[in-house]
A = this chain, B = another copy of it.
């Protein structure tokens, strides 16, 4: 009898230990993730995907961390603008800077984010890549999310961290494919997500190489801008990764094109997932009318037809945020 009890206890502990997604409630989304990985990594399975082709791409803002009340890089740019305003008095007469200082997001996002790119240009271009990385790192050490009262890089979704680790332990190479700036994300992506810089695809402008006092230096410019959003996402995937992903995770219509590229007409098995922000209490609730970016209308309507998994954040996630170092 004790043997049966011991066996049951052992099995329960193995089963608990073996749940790679403990922050996910039992749900169709959790089942779908586990089933896809199981069938594509079992040697001999008709749906086996060779390890070299196990590419999984993740949007960042709204998929791995929030994009409210502002995308975090916009918060960084506005803080940089304020910090550097005294040294750049000419900025004060710039109507876009004035709008930014008033927090007028509408003015920044009008005409395809024209004002926002102007602010990014003012605050990012002209710095060396080392200076820029240092300024991002310094900001992350002091800035706090206004609602969650913790550093921005500690506002990451625990369930998605578990998905990243689970996929990697099954031979998937995890990539970020985000509209955010590659140089911004690469400062912390390895530490926070375990995703190294070379697996971060983002918006970017070209740098300029020059020798400064005999030292090779890369200077950020605003030239040759590539916006890694909407149809730019499959373009970025092709340019940076050079193969079609097997799995794609997003949360907005800006991710629809890369989910289409991943899942439609793919000769291999494929998987698409949207995080639906349904949790006003623990995070935010929005889709058609987001407070900042992250509109989710057409992709949500297409999901059933395409077989894309939709995560109901409120229902499917037992925990939203990873533990913070401050509690």
Contact = CB atoms under 8 A, between A and B. Distances in A.
B264 A209 contact: no
Interface in A58-98: none
A209 B234 contact: yes
Contacts of A242: 182-183, 186, 197-198, 200
Instruction: Name which of A55, A183, A207 has the most chain B CB atoms within 10 A of its CB.
Output: A207
Contacts of A197: 241-243
Contacts of A215: 264-265
A126 to B, nearest CB: 16
Interface string A236-255: 00111111000000000000
A242 B211 CA distance: 19
A291 to B, nearest CB: 28
A82 B19 CA distance: 59
Identical chains in the assembly: 2
Given A216-B265, A234-B216, A260-B216, A198 B239 contact: no
Interface in A210-230: 210-211, 214-216, 218, 224, 226
A204 interface: yes
B241 A218 contact: no
Nearest to A53: B196
A239 B209 contact: no
Nearest to A234: B209
Interface of A: 52, 55, 129, 173, 182-183, 186, 190, 196-198, 200, 204, 206-211, 214-216, 218, 224, 226, 231-232, 234-235, 238-243, 257, 260-261, 264-265
Given A208-B231, A218-B261, 7 more contacts: A52-B190, A52-B196, A173-B198, A183-B242, A207-B238, A215-B264, A216-B257
